[in-house]
Every structure is written in C-alpha cells, then in structure tokens.
Structure 1
Amino acid sequence: MELYCENLYNRTNEKLLDISMTAEGKIDLCRKSFTAVQESLYKLKEYVNEHGFKDKSSEIIFFKSVQPKFLGELIYFAEVFRIESSCPLKPPKQKKGCYRKEMEKISAFYERHQELYWYHFSGKTDLDDKLFLRNGEIDFSFPDIYFLDADPEFSCAGSYRVGQFIAFKKVLEYLQISLDTLEGKKSNKTGPVWTGPKVWLIELIYALKAAGVFNKGKVDIKDIANITGPMFQKDLGEYYRAFQEIRLRKKNRTVFLDHLKTALTEYMDAADGM
C-alpha cells in the first residue's frame, strides 16, 4: 500500500505541475487542480476498499500521514477558488481587505483546534487509535467537507482535520504573497525552484546527511534542511515524518536516488552521442 500511495501522490503532483503551466488564470488553475486531486482521492478510495489494511498500525499511518496529504491539496484549491471567486473584480484596496479577512478566519481556525494541531505536529501518538482509526472514539462534524461523500470506510475524525491544517498553511502563504503583490512588494527569492515532489528533496537531504559530505559528517539534518528548503524555494514541512514514510517503503526505499542515477547516465550517454 505504501508504494501505491506514494506513486499516486507523485503522479498527482506531476499533474498539478502540468496544470500550473497551462492554466488560464487562478480560477482555471484551481478548478482543474481540484478535479485532478479529487480523481486521485477516488483512486485511493477504490484501492483502500479493495485491499483494506493489514492491521491497525497501517490504518493509522494511512489516515494520519497519507490521506491528509491528498485532502490538504484538495482543500487548498477549493479555498483559493472560493476566495478568488468571491472578489474577482474588486479594486486593490477592497481585495487587500478581503485577503486579510480570510487570514483572520484561518488564524481563528487554528486557535479553535490548537490542541489537535500541537498533538499532531509534535509527533505524539497516544490518541492515534481514537483519531486515526475508522469509527474511532473521537468524532468531528464535517459541514464543509470537499469531496462528494464521507464514506465511513474511507474517513476518520483526525484525517480530515490534519488535511485542513496542511491546506490552510498553504492558503496563508498564498494570501500573504497576494497581499505583497497588491502592495507592490517584490519577492527577494531568486534561483531555481524545486518543482519535483517534496519527498524527493527530503530523500536527497537525508542521503547527503548519511554520506557525511557536510562538515566531515558533523552536521544535523535540521541544518541541512534549513538551508536546502529556502535555497530551492520549497517548504520541507515535517521532513522527519516524511523520512519515516520513506523508511517504510516496501520495494525500494531510494526511489529518487535511483532516478537520479538513471537520469544522469542517460544524460551522459546522450552527450556522448550514444
């Protein structure tokens, strides 16, 4: 299951990248991206319904770390679509007010759910069987759910909320960039932008750590991540958690490194005229 979910997520990111390069404006981008992620969620749902989970541990991992990534993307595009559709023709001053109001709403959301937020992102596990198992003891209402049905075999209390945490963080970044643009502030970011899956970059930084190529091996993974993320304009987020997912891969735990080797070999062969 881990490999299927990872491959599906990577294929989804590739679709989103293609859409971002061809979409005609923000509304079109959000609409097409939402549809692409929704299709991937349906595929994920079909896979889960067909194969199930081998034990409670694998079910918890799925609803705590896997499904929320897809939900986060889905909710993000739905929220940006809603925001941009609500004030498409407003003058800059009113648009800035609209963006600030949305940021206040998100801040209020985090305040309401701060205990769950800190539970999840601090790495605690003592409530996992209540939050990340189907029919768990803790239940939330989902009046704003974005996919077509809340199938009890494909949903649980914590997964959707974690998806919101992931999504709203991205929405805040989007709103801040939009505000800066309206106020004439220029980004000081330069250089290449990482457009591959985030998990690939995380796999790379852990490989560099393991190889001991920085400071004769005397450097923490946090130091490498803090430099690498901004360098390639990529928020690495919970890279510790992502590394645990990489370790759990069944067939191949070095997908990106193997891809790099193949790509470089083919590049050199092409340069040699082979």
Structure 2
Amino acid sequence: MKLSLNNIISEIHRKEADISSRTSRLIDEAYQMTCYLQELLSLTKEYISKEGFKDEAEETGFFRNIKPQILGKLIYYNKVFRIETSCPVHNGKMYRTYFSNQLHELKQEYIEHICNSEFYRYYRSGRTDRDDTYFRLGRINYHDGLNSFVFEIDPKFSTYYDYKIAHIIANELLYTYLLTKISPEENSTNLGLHNIENTKDVFWTDSKNALIELIYALYAAGVISHGKVGIRKISLIAQVLFRIPLNDLHHAFHRMKDRAGSRTTFLDQLKLSLEEYMDKTL
C-alpha cells in the first residue's frame, strides 16, 4: 500500500465504496474495513516515524483531520462487526430491542464522556486557536485531569486529542448506523427531519428496488455533502422522507449487479422521462 498523507481520506472513501460493492453482508464489509484500516494506521505510523512533518501546520492538520478519520472509522467498523456478530435474531421485536439498547448505550456514552467537555465544544465550534496545544506532539497537559488511557498512548504518534476526535467520529457513524437498524419512522426527529409530519402526502410509489437504485446512484456520484455522507444515512433519509422500509440494501444492490440487460433500469427510465418532458415543454 503506497502512502501519501494528502490522499489518505480519499483512499478510505474509495476503499469503502469498493468493499461495499463486493460484499453482500454488512458483517463482511465491517471485517474487511477493520483489517484495511488497521493496516493503514500501522503504515501511517511507520511513515510519520520515518518522515516526520514538513512544518507545524502539517503536524496539526494530521492530528486534527487525518489520523482521527483513520482511527475513528476503525473504531466504528470494529464496533459494527461486534454488534452484528452478537445480534441474537434477524428481525422481530427482539431484533429491534437489541438495537434500541445499543443506541441507548451510545447516547449514554455521548452524554457522559463527550458532549459536556470543553474540548468537544472547541472542536464542534470549528475553532483553531488552540490547535497548537491540542494537536502537537509532546504537549499533553496532565494538569487538565485527562482520562487514564492517556498513559497508554504512543507519545510519538498521538497528541491525546486526536483520539478524542476519533471517538466523536465513531460515535456519529454508529448513531446513524443504529438508526437504520430501527424503524426509521420512529427516528425522524433524531435524524433532524423535525417537520416530517408536514410531508404525510409524500410517499414512494415505485418499487423498492427503484429507490435503492436511486440511492446508490446518488452515493456513487458523491453529490450529497460532497460525498461525505454514507450510503446508510442516505438510505435512512429516503426511508423517513418517503415512508418506506428498505431492509437489506446490500443484497438488493448485488441483485442489480447481476441483472440481465440494463443494470440501471430505473435510472434509464428517469432519463427517458425527463427527455420526453423536455420535448413537451419546448
């Protein structure tokens, strides 16, 4: 694996898309991404140990923006793998209860360890005035009463606060993942769609496969939030907005890949319908 600090995040996105397209089960995707990110983190550590940083800006940028993305997604995929492999059933009341309990635990962790911290408010506000303190090696201030795991980190590859950001990233990804496992209609406000009641007359009238095809097209094109939104969050938004459950997207996607003839039947029809509409309005 050839490493370039400037391309790490885009490489992670590319790998996610590649593995997602080749695996039919979330368990397999989570396992493969965990292995990939573990190797990437190790290679990045070797690179930093050998090459160092060009200047202070590169150092703070790495520990604020790059390493937390690797570690945060590593924490996320490893947790998803553990949750999926421990799930007692595949549907029904016990299934929903299991994921509801996981979501409750995640919220408790967020309340107790993340949202009330001074650093969380600093990071969320987009401030950079203390980056020199938070994201430079060898500047850990033990007078701040840090968590005890600070003594276990590698001082040559962590500023402590890069680990904090990684947990924030993992927490947000897990939150979206768990919402997709629970009835989306019950979680519209959690997603931020507070006025969903005003769209009761908006619902999907084509097949579920057609909607899944559209969702994957939007994801593959990276046209939502510059491609930073995952397939599951796009799916959840569609399910809430159009009031339709979409079960296992992965299996549906793999069935599309194996279609005889056109693999993008719905998108082909959309293009044709738009062109016909354009002709009528000339």
Shorter-chain-normalised TM-score: which range?
0.5 to 0.7
The TM-score normalised by the length of structure 1 is 0.62
Q: Per the alignment, in what secondary structure is the counterpart of residue 134 of structure 1?
A: coil
Q: Does 1:140 align with 2:147?
A: yes
Q: Which residue of 2 aligns with 1:77?
A: 77
- Which residue matches 2:11? 11
Supply the distance in 1 between the matched residues of 2:131 and 2:44 (Cα, whole angstroms): 21
1:168 to 147, 162, 171: 171
For 2:114, the aligned partner's letter is H
The aligned residue for residue 226 of structure 2 is: 201
Aligned to 1:131: 134
- The aligned counterpart of 2:110 is 110
SS of 2:47's partner is helix
The answer (yes or no) to whether the contact 2:34–2:74 under 8 Å persists in 1 is yes
Aligned partner of 1:247 in structure 2 is: none
Which residue matches 2:162?
159
Amino acid at match of 2:220: T
**1:171 & 1:108 partners in 2: Cα distance?**
13
Shift of 1:24: 4.1
Q: Shift of residue 9 of structure 1?
A: 2.6
Deviation at 1:65, TM superposition (A): 1.1
- Name the aligned partner's letter for residue 167 of structure 1: A
How far, CA to CA, are the matches of 1:197 and 1:156 in structure 2? 32
Compute the displacement of 1:35 (Å).
0.7
How many residue pairs align between the two structures? Answer: 201
Aligned AA (1:174): Y
Secondary structure at the aligned position of 1:133 is classed as coil
Q: Offset at 1:29?
A: 1.2
User: Is the alpha carbon distance of 1:163 and 1:91 closer, same or farther for their aligned partners in structure 2, counting shifts above 3 Å?
Assistant: same
Query: 2: distance between equivalents of 1:7 and 1:199?
Result: 20
Unaligned 5+ segments in structure 1 are 144-148, 203-224, 235-274
SS of alignment partner, residue 82 of structure 2: helix
Q: Which runs of 5+ in 2 are unaligned?
A: 189-202, 205-210, 236-282
Residue of structure 2 equivalent to 1:101: 101
Work out the percentage of aligned pairs sharing the same amino acid. Answer: 29
> CA RMSD for the aligned pairs?
3.7
Q: 1:233 to 1:96 in 2, by over 3 A?
A: closer
Which amino acid letter does the alignment assign opposite residue 22 of structure 1? R
Runs ≥4 in structure 1, deviation > 4 angstroms?
187-190, 196-200
**Cα drift, residue 181 of structure 1:** 6.8
How far apart in 2 are the matches of 1:173 and 1:151? 31
Mapped to 2, the partners of 1:65 and 1:197 lie a distance apart of 20
In 1: Cα distance, 2:23 partner to 2:162 partner: 30
1:174-210 per-residue CA deviation (whole Å, 9 max, x = no partner) reads: 1111112798x9x9777332236799937xxxxxxxx
Describe the SS at the equivalent of 2:4: helix
The higher radius of gyration belongs to 2
Shift of 1:128: 2.5
